[in-house]
Each structure stands twice: as C-alpha cells, then as structure tokens.
Amino acid sequence: MIKGHPLKGAFIDFIHEINGSTLFSYVEKVDALDPVRFYEKGIKWYKGERFYFKDREGEMTLAGLGSVYTIQSGKTNRFADVEANWDALTKRAAVHNPYDVYGTGPVAFGGFSFDPEQQAGEEWSRFAPSFFYVPEIMLTVYEGETFVTVNVLCDGTNSLALFERIEERKRWIFDQNDKAMNEKAVLVELRSGDTDAWKNSIQSAIQSIKSDEELKKIVLARKITAVFDEAIVPDHVLRRLDEEQPDSFIFSIEAMDSCFLGASPERLVKKQSRTLMTTCLAGSTARGATEEEDRKLADALLNDDKNRIEHDYVVQMIRREMQSMCVSVTVPEEPIIMKVRDIQHLYTPVTGLADEFDSILRFVERLHPTPALGGLPAQKALNVIRELEPMDRGFYAAPVGWMDYRKNGEFAVAIRSGLIVQNEAFLYAGCGVVPDSNPDTELEETTMKLRPMLRAIGGGNE
Ligand SMILES: C=C(O[C@@H]1C=C(C(=O)O)C=C[C@H]1O)C(=O)O
Ligand SMILES: [Mg+2]
C-alpha cells in the first residue's frame, strides 16, 4: 500500500490477525475511465485473467483484472459447491466499502458450462463445469459513476509490498495514456460444418417431439469455425462488440490462452437486494431494410403461431420457477418485440420479489437451462441434445456473470458468442425446435444469429 494510504493501519492490523488465507478488499471512487480501455490496458500484467460484463440497459459495467482466488467445481453439485466456497471466502473477508454501490467490493466472475454431462470438447479444456475468479483490480461503472475495487488475498506471509505493487499497477492503468491496439488478424477460412447433417438433426428433433407426448421443445445448436492467419487479439473483438451491439449484454472471460466472449440480448437473472429480473426470449425474425419493413416483420412475428408457441414454453417454465422462489412475480400477458442490430425477438420481461438473503445462484440453478436454450421439459430435451448435437457447448448458452458478497449479481445467457483459442474462433448459434419447425428456416435463423460475432471478428457481413 502506498505511503499515507488511509487503509494502511487497517491493513497492518489485518495481516497480523489472520489465520489462513483471507481477503482484504477496498473500494475507491475514481475519475471516469472507459472500461474497455481498462480491460485492454490490463493485458500488461493480467493476460489470460481478465473479464468484462456490461448489462443491456447500459446501467452497469464491470471489468476485472487478475485472479487472486479461483473457484471451480466438478460435474455434480456445482451450484452448491460454488456457493459454499464463495461463502467461506467472503464471510471472513475484511471489506472496506464506504459506497455500498451495486457491483462494488468483492465479486466473483465466471459461469457454469451448459451441460456438464456433455462429452468434453478439447477447445473448452480451460473451462471447468463451473469456473469463477476474483479479480485483483476491478472497475465498476454504475449509473455513470466509476469505482475501483482492489482485492488482496493475504495468507499471513505477504507484506505491504503486495499492496504497493497493486497500487502501482492501478496508478499506471489510470494515468498512462498509451494508444489502443489495432492490428488485426486476417480470416483465411470459414468452416460451416455439415449443414445437411445439421438439418437432418432438426428433423430428428421434430420426430422426437412428435413421438413423445410430454416433450414439447428442443433447442439445437451448431458451431462454425473461423481460422485466421495469426493469433486473434480478443481485445479487438470485445471493443467491436461493445461498439456494434449497444443493446446487448457484452461479456468476455479469459481463461489462460482462451477467451470466451459475446453480445447476448438475453438476461438469465439479475438480483439486486430483493428484486429479481429475468427474461423470456424466444421466437425470432430478421430486421427490415426500411423502418416499414422492420415493423411488418415485427408484426408478423407477434402473430406467428410457431414462434408464439416456441416463446410460450419459455414463459410457462420461467413463471413456474419464479413463483416457487418469490413472494410475488409479475409476468406480462403478451410478449413485446426486442430489437438488436441483426435480429428481432419475442420478449417477455419477468420480475419478482424475494428474500434479500436468497442467493443469486439459487435462481441460476433453478432457471438454467430455460426452454429458450434447452427445451421443455429440460431433462428430456437435454437427453436429445446429447444424442443429436455432435459437439460440446462449453459455456455457450450457459450462465455467465458475476456475484457479490451479499448474494446479489447478474447472469446473462451466453448466446451470440464465441470461443477464441489462438488463431481459431468457434462460434455458436441455436434455435428452438417445435413440431412446426422447418429445417431450412431454422438454418437461416442460426445464420442470422451468427452474424454479430462474425462481424466482430472480421469475418464478413459488415
Ligand atoms: C439459441 C439461441 O437463441 C435463443 C433461441 C431463440 C429462438 O429460437 O428463436 C431466440 C432467442 C434465444 O433464446 C442462440 O442465439 O444461439
Ligand atoms: Mg426460433
């Protein structure tokens, strides 16, 4: 800690008293700094250990650098294990947070894989069935104000030198005015996979639904691979997503040499004190070239039986789960339209009131996967997905986000996303299959959903 820092005395007392490793966390209010720039600058010391998360309303952004503490779990019991691990750390932490603003103080960022029972794909080797880390330095922008949180994991042996090092890095990040990086890898090949085989799997899913009275919907996804001439710099992709998709969640999570990132329109769940927000998002159509065409497409979507059914299964499940966990739940009668740059969706926002001390993870566990990404009922749909999808979804379509030391936090559904490993990018898109699905139309829908990531990595469709 630098000389004269107001928390120096508190820190010295703290390191003398601790027994085992304990978190010392402090929050300061700082001048505004572009959070993408903060993330980019962090590459100097924290490459492979950075995250970014911006909500779709633009109300809050988090950017984290470094990893002072990691939480991972096995395939089973993962929500309870993560919760217990995080609780144990935060209960003993010394937190100096005079601001008490949402998203400041100790935060763990990460997520859960879509389906831990899916056969592990090599490209996802850096991502455990659940994977979270606590940053060393984190920037929070909340309603226009900027805060920085510093987390130090003290084990009784580290000294003030560790604080000095972090403070020095922090100062460099805020002071140094270096230029943004802008060189760019060139796309050499786009592998779309076997689209005929994929359409056959849609047909098989339709058959599965028709032959099982209980099974209503299955979401199937596909993966494309973009190969570049040299290593892709994920920072460039993040910056482009942030600029090109102002109405989406923007997220990025680095895990050593891999980076998973995307621009998702879909909130899984947000908890702020007693208030819960979640989203039913399913049913899709294109954007129009003119305002009038755009409106016509939206009207057609609102009145289309196939898409309304696809959407309604999501509403049914989310309403049921939320009612079982909340004291009150509000679900609008009819969906509205959500528009993002390349696509429009049927959208039903859901809110609820729960106990302040309920954990965000309880909601994540109960809601994931919603029928927007898995199907209805979830377990049966997952069995069909395991059988028909020849890939590991990894963190695609899964909960990605953050939780704080007060059981609050927010998770997006990590769609419109891709995994970057060296010079390859794996991009994913899926669609909701119901008996009236048409394989050609579903293929087109997934192509449309791939566009934001393709544009951001520089793979055409500007
Ligand atoms: C599965 C994806 O998107 C989901 C499927 C939708 C649909 O089938 O209409 C719409 C929104 C998302 O909930 C994806 O983007 O990969
Ligand atoms: Mg659809």
pLDDT tens-digit map of 237-294: 999 999 999 999 999 999 999 999 999 999 999 999 999 999 999 999 999 999 999 9
Inform me whether the pLDDT recorded for 3 exceeds 60: no
**Top mutation candidate among 114, 216, 219, 224 for ligand 1, by most atoms within 8 Å of CB:** 219
The rounded Å distance from CA 411 to ligand 1 centre is 16
| Residues lining ligand 1, Cβ inside 6 A | 219, 221, 266, 281-284, 310, 345, 372-373, 397, 415-416, 429-432, 449
Rounded to the nearest angstrom, the distance between the alpha carbon of 390 and the centre of ligand 2 is 20
Regarding whether 106 and 164 lie in a shared domain, the answer is yes
Among residues 128, 155, 175, which one ends one of the domains? Answer: 175
Q: Closest residue (by CA) to atom 9 of ligand 1?
A: 283
> pTM value?
0.96
- Euclidean distance between CA atoms 126 and 93, whole angstroms: 28
217 is catalytic: yes
407 is catalytic: no
pLDDT for 44 beyond 60: yes
Q: Which ipTM value was assigned to this complex?
A: 0.99
Residue with tokens 């009207």: 299
Active-site hit among 254, 266, 410, 442: 266
Residues 107 and 191 in one domain: no
For residues 149 and 193, state if they share a domain.
no
**Shared domain check, 208 and 148:** no
Cα 375 to Cα 384: distance, rounded to the nearest angstrom: 10
With the most atoms of ligand 1 within 8 angstroms of its CB, the residue from 222, 266, 441 to mutate is 266
**What's the pLDDT at 161?**
82
Q: Quick one: 259 and 398 in the same domain? A: yes
Residue 180 is assigned to a structural domain of this protein:
no
> Domain boundary residue among 175, 198, 220?
175
Residue 234: pLDDT above 90?
A: yes
* 117 phi, psi to nearest 5 deg: -85, -10
Residues around ligand 2, an ion, CB closer than 5 A: 284, 431-432
Q: What is the spatial distance between Cα 66 and Cα 138, in angstroms, rounded to a whole number?
A: 9
My answer on whether 135 and 254 are in the same domain is: no
Domain count for the chain: 2
Task: Using alpha carbons, select from 176, 177, 180, 100 the residue that is nearest to residue 145.
Answer: 100
Same domain, 246 and 380: yes
pLDDT in tens, 160-219: 788 889 999 999 998 867 666 666 788 899 999 999 999 999 999 999 999 999 999 999
Residues 438 and 374 grouped into a single domain: yes
The rounded Cα 62 to chain-centroid distance in angstroms is 12
Domain coverage including residue 130: 8-175
